[in-house]
Amino acid sequence: MMYGPLLKEARLKAGLSQEEMAEKLHLSRSNVSRLENNYLALKVRDLVDWFQVTGAPEIAAAIICGVDVAAVMQIISTVSTMVVWALFT
C-alpha cells in the first residue's frame, strides 16, 4: 500500500520541512523524502512516530486497522475545509 502522500500531507499540515521532520524522527532528510515518495518501506515504528510528531496519531491507528488511505486523505481534506470555512464565516 502507498502511504507516501499521506505522510507528506500530515507533515505539511504540521508545518514541518523535510529537514525538521528528519531531525524529529532521527532519520536523514533523504529517508524522509524516500518515505514520502514510497521508495522506502514504512516500518510500523516510523509510522507511529511520524503521526505523533505531526499531531495525528489517529491516522496511524486508522492505517494499522486497515482503513483505506485514500478515504483518510479525503476525510482530512474535507475536515480541513470545514474548519477553515467555520473560522472565516
According to the model, what pLDDT value does residue 81 have? 86
Specify the pTM. 0.71
pLDDT in tens, 9-64: 899 989 999 999 999 999 999 999 999 999 999 998 998 899 999 998 777 777 77
CA-to-CA distance for 58 and 68, rounded, in angstroms? 13
Cell of 78: 474535507
pLDDT in tens, 62-88: 777 877 767 777 887 888 889 888 888
Please state the domain count of the chain: 1
> What CATH number does residue 48 fall under?
1.10.260.40
Across all residues in the chain, what is the average pLDDT?
A: 88
Residue numbers of the domain that contains 65: 4-87
Measure Cα distances from 36 to 46, 49, 65, 70, 87 in Å. 12, 14, 20, 15, 30
According to the model, what pLDDT value does residue 1 have? 67
